[in-house]
Structure 1
């Protein structure tokens, strides 16, 4: 079963009629930028949604929701829809988006930045200081390969424990 895609304007109409808007992105992504009134229910912790005229699922660009449409449809105890273009499409349509510029970057963006810096440093150091520094690039590359293959990222865990990523209770 698949879910139909609706425009931000149609989504707003449904929201005005009592539909529920659910953001399936991880909590760190939702905390940094969200559609006002959207509930956060990451894919890893989906629960059935019912008791509303409709449920509208969204992510950042619409790709994650489209890729998981069958799972989202199974969780929709009422008519379910996917927001066309996700939060990016919502913003492009001129709809309001809440942004917390003080929230840290999403963990995966932090991983990409740190991994890129470590690989670049390993290459530069291996060319200018000692060839052995190329092992740094190889180690980071192996870690990224392992993360992609298993779904577990040690660097993401480490970055998640950093002080700037901890929320005050």
Structure 2
């Protein structure tokens, strides 16, 4: 079956109830995943996926659909998995945001701010404080300028250093999520799928 690189939410929903559903890898932070996720998805944060791509790739034989908030981190995850040799990887178009907007079922937990909203808050606070402090210390205006340059660089490279740093905070860590736990989940589900066949 040929599946496009980007899959709309309604097509993914149909695929999930098919005879051979794809594996869903949610590349958001554990905190974001705990807030809302598609049932059956595995939480493999982007930084963990990058670091352990070869090990995780060994346990992905079926079609894989990557999920994040809006699709940006999933694009980076797709590049990571393709560079590790996985060709049957796809992206949920519009991410979990599009899935929820379509009215499809999700598992919900405690509400937390998503990573992109946290980046906007921290960047905005740094700029505002930098301008205020520059009234007394003129050099502080360069802090605001550095944040602006950082955001510009993030947009041009489709990366975000501030987001990567914020994802490491305990608030975003949520439940334990490490490579060994992810691999165990993938192995267990593969064994269950083979028994069911």
Which has the larger Rg?
A: 1
1:160 pairs with 2:176: no
> Any unmatched runs of 5+ in structure 1?
none
Q: Deviations for 1:91-140, whole angstroms, at most 9, x for unmatched residues? A: 1221123343444x3455334323322432343455xxxx3244444335
Larger relative CO (CA 8 A, sep 6+): 1 or 2? 2
Per-residue deviation at 1:168?
Answer: 7.7
- C-alpha distance in 2 between matches for 1:168 and 1:5: 29
Partner of 1:121: 129
Alpha-carbon contact 1:25-1:40 (below 8 Å) kept: yes
Partner of 1:50: 60
Higher helix content, 1 or 2:
2
TM-score by length of 1: 0.66
Aligned length: 160
Aligned CA distance change for structure 1 residues 40 and 144 (closer, same or farther; 3 Å): farther
User: 1:9-158, aligned counterparts within 5 Å?
Assistant: 9-16=10-17, 17=19, 18-44=21-47, 45=49, 46=53, 47-48=56-57, 49-52=59-62, 54-66=63-75, 68-74=77-83, 79-103=88-112, 105-106=113-114, 109-124=117-132, 126=134, 131-142=135-146, 145=149, 152-153=161-162, 156=165
Alpha-carbon contact 1:7-1:84 (below 8 Å) kept: yes
> Any unmatched runs of 5+ in structure 2?
177-197
